[in-house]
Amino acid sequence: MPTLDSAETQRAFTGKLGAEEDPSRGDHHFYVFRVGTTVVATTKISRGSRHTISDDLVARMARQLGVTSNALSQAVACSLGKTAFHRLLAAGVPFKQRPRSG
């Protein structure tokens, strides 16, 4: 199960993967992923000093993005490019696909 370095992940999200970082100054960095103009997924990383994101949390982040942990890890590590990653985002099943009312 992959782990990720928080600083590398933040750089990858806003750099090569094209996410926008929400400018609010809360306890967490939120990253917003768009396909075209539509926001399709978000994920977050805790603020604070550089740290290792555990495999448990990588799995949750990946699930929020609708990709596998391995795909997320590969995207951060550059072995999966932006185009391929965005194709996964577009095709991926978001965290939950249950009908909602309201």
Q: How many residues lie near other proteins (CB under 8 A)?
A: 28
CB 90 within 8 Å of CB 40:
yes
SS3 66: coil
Ranges within 62-101 binding other proteins (CB under 8 A): 63-64, 94-97, 100
SS3 82: helix
**Cβ proximity to other proteins, 32 vs 77, nearer residue:** 32
d(C-alpha 58, C-alpha 75), whole Å = 12
Confirm or reject binding of residue 5 to other proteins (CB under 8 A).
no
Q: How far is the CB of 52 from other proteins (least distance, A)?
A: 9
Ranges within 32-61 binding other proteins (CB under 8 A): 32, 34, 37-42, 44, 46, 54, 56-57, 60
Site of tokens 């982040």: 61
